Chains A and B, each alone.
Chain A
Amino acid sequence: MQITLNVNGVSRALDLDTRVTLLDALRHHLRLTGSKKGCDHGQCGACTVLANGRRINACLSLAVMHDGDAITTVEGLHEADGAGLQQAVIDHDGFQCGYCTPGQLCSAIGMLDELAQGWPSHASDGLEGPFTLTQAEIAERMSGNLCRCSCYPGINAAIRDAAKTGTGATEAAE
């Protein structure tokens, strides 16, 4: 089936088996292997990308469902407000093996945008925003991205930093 994906600002035409997931379209067909396959079941979050600005598990979505969509992967994150977060993750040692890192980064950018839009989480006091970026909010909203090296302290510190300096998608207050 023929589709077009707009990946990191570049239009890419693809002719795909309908069984190909968005993740495998990126990794096998576009050779963008920054998005990782940790479980292929939507359980680990390593494949998180932004589809039209929203974070999704690319392994749980068939590529043919995304005809015409704008997909942002870790390779394009610096042009999607991600550069500050990427540097903050290095500064706070928010990674060890690095395999979950692209998913953490894309997820964090999507998460900060959700927070800015006033979406509630399990850790929120109520259903109506605005919500502040507390430790509990970050931890709750980032719990779909596993890190077996357990770099959560560094990841969370980096997200706080990036949000503070406005290099994330929002300027949520502490």
Chain B
Amino acid sequence: MTITLKVDGKSPDRIPDMKQGLVGTEIARPEGPLKVTGQAPYAAEDLPEGCAFGTLVRAPRWGKVNLRNEERLAAMPGVLSVLRDPAMIRRTAQGGAGKAPAQGMDEADFAGQSVALIVAESFEVARDAARAAVVAVDGPAPAVDPDQQETEGEPDSHGDLEAAMRGAAHALDVTYTTPSMAAAAMEPHAAVAWWDGDGVTVRTSLQMLKHNRKELADCLGIDPSRVRVLSPYVGGGFGSKLGVSPEAVAAALAAKTLGRPVCVVQERRQVFELVNRRSESRQRIRLAADEDGRLVGLGHEALVSNLPDEGFSEPVTQASHFAYAAENRLIGNRVARVRRPNAGSVRAPGEAIGVTAFECAMDELASALDLDPIALRLRNIPDAHPETGQPFSSHKLAQVLTEGAERFGWQDRDPAPRQRREGEWWIGTGVSAAFRVNLLTEAEARITLTSDGARVDTDMTDIGTGTYAILTQIAGEALGLPQGRVTVRLGDTDLPPGSGSGGSFGAASTGSAVWLAALDLRQQLATRLGCDEADLTLQDGEARVANTRQPITEILKGDTLTGHGHVQKGEAAQKVRQATYGAHFAEAAVNDVTGEVRVRRMLGSFAAGRILNPRTARSQCHGGMTWGIGMALTEGLVFDRRDGHVVNRDLAEYHVPVNADVPPLDVHFVDEHDPWTGPLLAKGIGELAICGAGAAVLNAVHHACGVRIRDWPATPDKVLAGLDGWPVPATAGSD
């Protein structure tokens, strides 16, 4: 049987009744030994015998495509095929699409789109043939600048923001611009496909396999039951691997055409163009406050971009609807249609840049009010959702701010900027709040219990998030088995459909499904023992009921038991506003001579429901905080003004933070068990830590040297231009 739970309300917390003591502990990742010895197979590895290699060919601009030397390419020694199948896709699917994106190779929607696949006996031949391809593209000059286009969408209005701004004791009206950003996962998108009769297997690097299977099937024109997708190890995703991408469809089509396995890996420069980017944004933020710093008006309007016909619009203002109280509100998105590469989800779509810009504006308001920035935030925490009136499932913003401030040493801070100098460096500190909506989505899992232990099966993925670890813990906890007697199989669509990894919903969604599957098994064991499931204690492989104890293997009597769990999103999502909260603190040094910014230390304080494994959760927070450093200081895609192509499309020109950019990072978890989020009382953590992290850095830059950077990233040229407005400090000559 299956235990199904639709999360309509609060769930009881049963984890304290369980005795194995695995949930909430810092177990090491079970797949660790495979990963540190090079034995964990990623997508383009463990290639089948006879595998051919394919390389995608790039269009230099948008328009009608003409591959001029197709015959010559096909005749190159070692080339097996030049594929321009109408089923090949022009864009990477959006997360959860479940259907094919735009198909066909006769047009390029943007500069950099793939327009052909060259398959050869060796990687070297395929690569060189792709380089030799002559692609002519005809079409008018493309629209590439979002600021020059008509826009779609209007903000939501409550009250009268204009009037509130006019009548307020303090009014702030600022515009922030944020560049487009790349997920830049370390493993490039890759696929190996092979056919067995009329069924295809694609080993790939994707995040949400149950949707990816449908997308592939739709692209190939076959039933989803004939598509098997494997992604047991994914070398980073961050949203870029939510939807099926061009290499997977091309590999499947080529494998069918050639009757042999084909491996297609995107070159790194292709990843920067073919994979969905985070949209750039222009954010107008208006804040109207009374004498005491209470907000009476709040405006957050964002301009983002995407290709024509794309439904995704970076939800920049998502958290602004509930983050702070204010009677008069104007919040929402406009989208411009441009011929830049497809925009889609990148780690915390919306809040990553929306909260970060808004939290910079809050810092500006605190400065204008001469009010401590933490006090300003504490003063404006709403009692309920300011627009819908929904209660909050749990609200820990005050706690994460105050506990974080204490740990960071905020209390001794002189609020005035340009007060602390060491040699030629200005030193300052900054704070930001973090907000991220919390999501639950449908997931299924199966656990097979034998005398050897338990095996968890789901098509869920582990993209570095710690899925293997936490599902081991959840199953072991409920079934009273130590870590070593639980194995987890992931990343195979032959297994029950999990949630996939995205939107920080993986742990709570698929984790709940595993929990329910374990409860199913507990029920079956209790039936065998003739007791109530609630009276059954399972620990270290033993079952205890009242005063009797018995090894689980004896209860099984050699049988194999199977438990199924199925969790569904229910009314809880509407009854309450669920979110995660955090506070970031940063200390930055700004060089008065060069404009260079160095982050000296950061502390993040987070409330994200029950923390299932502090070790893996902490590592995810390190990641988010580091992305905040990149957002604030170094990252930004540059688009050519004529044809919209990505100018800096590699890791030498697109600057993700390196080891030396990242100072010691401190992570603090505030205790929270949120009963509205499902039976684990857990929430998402993977995205929270990027939301606002960059604002703490940029606010620290301002505190250090008095310069506000509203056009990110805060590269030395911009910081220097800001420093120009200040008098040379008296001590500068002697440093």
Contacts and interface: CB of A to CB of B under 8 A. Distances in A.
Contacts of A145: 659
A62 B712 CA distance: 39
Contact of A97 (B122, B234, B267, B618): B234
B37 A36 contact: no
Given A33-B38, A38-B186, A99-B187, 4 more contacts: A86-B36, A93-B618, A96-B623, A99-B236
B464 interface: yes
A38 B187 contact: yes
B184 A96 contact: no
A105 to B, nearest CB: 6
Contacts of B650: 39, 41, 43
Contact of B36 (A39, A43, A95, A156): A95
A37 B185 CA distance: 12
Nearest to A98: B35
* Top-6 shortest CB links A-B: A34-B38, A99-B235, A97-B464, A96-B464, A98-B35, A150-B626
Contacts of A150: 622-623, 625-627, 657, 662
Interface stretch (A71-79, A126-134, A164-172): A71-79
Contacts of A143: 658-661
Given A27-B45, A33-B38, A153 B186 contact: no
Given A34-B39, A93-B28, A97-B236, A156 B659 contact: yes
Interface residues of B, number: 62
A97 B651 contact: no
B186 A28 contact: no
Interface in A119-145: 123, 135-136, 138-140, 142-145
A102 interface: yes
Interface in A33-81: 33-41, 43-44, 46, 73-75, 77-78
Interface in A71-123: 73-75, 77-78, 86-87, 89-91, 93, 95-102, 105, 123
Contacts of B438: none
Contacts of A32: 38
Given A41-B652, A97-B464, A146-B658, A86 B235 contact: no
A109 to B, nearest CB: 12
Contacts of B185: 97, 99, 148
B41 interface: yes
Contacts of A146: 186, 651, 656, 658
A149 B45 contact: no
A41 B37 contact: no
B268 A98 contact: no
B619 A98 contact: no
Interface in A1-56: 17, 19-20, 24, 27-28, 31-41, 43-44, 46
Chain A: number of interface residues, binned into ranges? 35 or more
Contact of A90 (B33, B267, B657, B664): B33
Interface in B621-672: 622-623, 625-627, 650-652, 656-662, 664-665
A61 B464 CA distance: 29
A73 B626 CA distance: 28
A34 B186 CA distance: 14
A34 B626 contact: no
B622 A78 contact: no
Contact of B37 (A17, A74, A123): A74
12 contacts: A19-B128, A28-B47, A39-B188, A41-B652, A73-B38, A74-B38, A75-B37, A90-B36, A95-B32, A136-B660, A146-B658, A154-B619
Contact of A17 (B33, B42, B122, B618): B122
Q: What DSSP secondary structure best describes chain A's contact surface?
A: loop
A66 B653 CA distance: 29
Interface string B7-33: 000000000000000000000110111
A43 B651 CA distance: 6
B268 A148 contact: no
A163 interface: no
Contacts of B660: 123, 136, 139-140, 143
Interface of B: 28-29, 31-33, 35-42, 44-47, 122-124, 128, 183-188, 233-238, 265, 267-268, 463-466, 615-616, 618-620, 622-623, 625-627, 650-652, 656-662, 664-665
B186 A147 contact: yes
B235 A37 contact: no
A135 B600 CA distance: 12
Nearest to B31: A98
Contacts of A98: 31, 35-36, 40, 233, 235, 464
Contacts of A91: 28
A159 B233 CA distance: 25
A145 B657 CA distance: 11
Nearest to B121: A17
A102 B619 contact: no
Nearest to B625: A150
A96 B465 contact: yes
Nearest to A29: B122
B123 A28 contact: yes
Contacts of B235: 36, 97-99
Contacts of A35: 38
Nearest to B621: A150
B188 A152 contact: no
B169 to A, nearest CB: 42
Contact of B268 (A27, A39, A75, A100): A39
Contacts of A135: 664
A19 B662 contact: no
Contacts of A153: 622, 662, 664-665
Contacts of B465: 96
Given A37-B265, A97-B463, A99-B235, A19 B124 contact: yes
A39 B184 CA distance: 10
Contacts of A139: 659-660, 662
Choose among A143, A145, A153, A155 the residue with the greatest number of B CB atoms under 10 Å from its CB. Answer: A153
B361 to A, nearest CB: 26
Task: Indicate the member of A77, A93, A97 with the most B CB atoms within 10 Å.
Answer: A97
